[in-house]
Amino acid sequence: MAAPRVDNAPSRREQILRTAAGLFARHGFHGVSIAELGAAVGISGPALYRHFPGKEALLAELLVDISERLLAGGRERATGEPDEVLAALVDFQLDFALHEPELIVVQDRDLDNLPEADRRRVRRLQRTYVEIWVDTLRRLHPGLDPDAARVAAHGTFGLLNSTPHSGSRAAPDEVAGLLRRMALTALTAL
């Protein structure tokens, strides 16, 4: 009975997750109460426990889902000529950052509010995703130091993920084009 219902539209659950992402992004995990979250989806307080075993579990589901989606997206684009792979990875990460900025924010803000087990799992997923970037960069620039590649990858994430912070009201595709160009240009400096 505790088995997850794999129905095709548990809309409440998803609504809660989406709303939680927004609130956590704005106020931080500890800055959002169960009651507030409930109110934000139109139910109140303890009703959330009909859908999630607890607040931490909710955060865990959010973060695991994000990192799994990033990893899956990365894997889909990992094969081929390194320059094309890199371009695809940049576009993918950029798309994610532009379309779901809350998730980007939550992921690096509240990672350590997770219980140990989930945190380790998320870290593992993230590390694997980064390794795709590292491998691609090293295929493109043979002899590049792995640590340097890792620094470059994280730097590129910072660049591409900067849109949530800049709160730019400029036209989204111009922002996208600019950041893509900056990222690809930066990565020629290796």
Partner DNA sequence: GCCGGGAGTTAGCGGACGTTAACCCGGACA
Partner DNA sequence: TGTCCGGGTTAACGTCCGCTAACTCCCGGC
Q: Would you tell me which residues interact with DNA (CB under 7 A)?
A: 1-2, 10, 12, 30, 32-36, 38, 43-47, 49-51, 54-56
> What distances in angstroms separate CA 138 from CA 27, 58, 126, 131, 143, one per listed residue?
38, 37, 18, 10, 7
What's the min distance (Å) between Cβ of 164 and a copy of itself?
10
Contact 42, 89 (CB under 8 A): no
Comparison of 2 and 189: residue with beta carbon closer to DNA = 2
- What DSSP letter does each residue of 109-166 carry, written as one string? HSGGGS-HHHHHHHHHHHHHHHHHHHHHHHHHSTT--HHHHHHHHHHHHHHHTTHHHH
What's the min distance (Å) between Cβ of 173 and DNA?
38
Contacts to a copy of itself by CB under 8 A? 26-31, 108-110, 112-113, 145, 147-148, 150-163, 165-166, 168-170, 174-175, 178-179, 181-190
What's the min distance (Å) between Cβ of 145 and a copy of itself?
8
What's the min distance (Å) between Cβ of 171 and a copy of itself?
8
Residue 43 binds what, of DNA, a copy of itself, none (CB under 5 to 8 Å, by partner type)? DNA
Residue 47 binds what, of a copy of itself, DNA, none (CB under 5 to 8 Å, by partner type)? DNA
Comparison of 7 and 147: residue with beta carbon closer to a copy of itself = 147
Comparison of 80 and 172: residue with beta carbon closer to a copy of itself = 172
Residues 6 or more apart in contact with residue 183 via CB below 8 angstroms: 90, 94, 156, 159, 160
What's the min distance (Å) between Cβ of 9 and a copy of itself?
32
Separation of alpha carbons 67 and 125, rounded Å: 6
Residues 6 or more apart in contact with residue 3 via CB below 8 angstroms: none
Residue 45 binds what, of a copy of itself, DNA, none (CB under 5 to 8 Å, by partner type)? DNA
Contact 170, 162 (CB under 8 A): no
Separation of alpha carbons 131 and 127, rounded Å: 6
